[in-house]
Amino acid sequence: MRYKILILVLSIGFFGCSKGGDSPAPTPKPIVVVEPSLTAANGVTVDIDPGTNNIYAVVGTSQKMEVRIAALPASGVTIETKLIKVLDNTTAFTNSISSTSLNNPVTVTGLVPGVLYNLSVVVTSKTTASNTKTVEFKMAAK
């Protein structure tokens, strides 16, 4: 009788602890990539930028500059450069480049001595259009 009870208890224990089937495999969580902000402090800099209250003096009719991006969005950026005469608000120079580089050389041409200009550099992410930084300052040729 003891052996029958022992066999019964062991049987119940054995069948009670069986796995009973596979559970579904856990699904991996999606990886969220955060795009670097162009508007962050020093996210975009122009190497000749004298600041908003100063005028950058150019010797000659062209000026080389470099647009530097601290952290590049995955799909790159568009850099639009526009030079506008302050006197009559006409466009003297415009340039648009597509870039996947942190350092981007641009040469502004068409400067006329004695004329004051506003230079606008707009850097826009190709992934998120609202991720845009504008750098503006005045310049004049001597």
Structural domains present in the chain: 44-141 (2.60.40.2550)
Paired with 56 in beta bridges are 139
pLDDT of residue 6: 65
pLDDT of 88 strictly over 70: yes
Residue 8: CA count within 13 A, CB half-sphere: 5
Average pLDDT, whole number, for the chain? 89
Say which residue, 99 or 15, is predicted with more confidence: 99
pLDDT of residue 30: 83
Say which residue, 14 or 75, is predicted with more confidence: 75
DSSP tag of 51: -
Say which residue, 108 or 18, is predicted with more confidence: 108
CA 107/CA 69 separation, integer angstroms: 17
For the chain, what percentages of helix, strand and coil (3-state, to nearest 5) are there? Answer: 10, 45, 45
Over residues 21-79, the pLDDT tens digits come to 566 777 888 887 788 999 998 999 999 999 889 999 999 999 999 999 999 998 999 99
Q: Mind giving me the DSSP string for 16-40?
A: HTS--SPPPPPPPPPPPPPPPPTTS
Claim: this prediction has a pTM higher than 0.85: no
- Please give the structure tokens belonging to residue 20: 């009973």
- With a CB cutoff of 8 Å and minimum separation 6, the contacts of 109 are 61, 62, 93
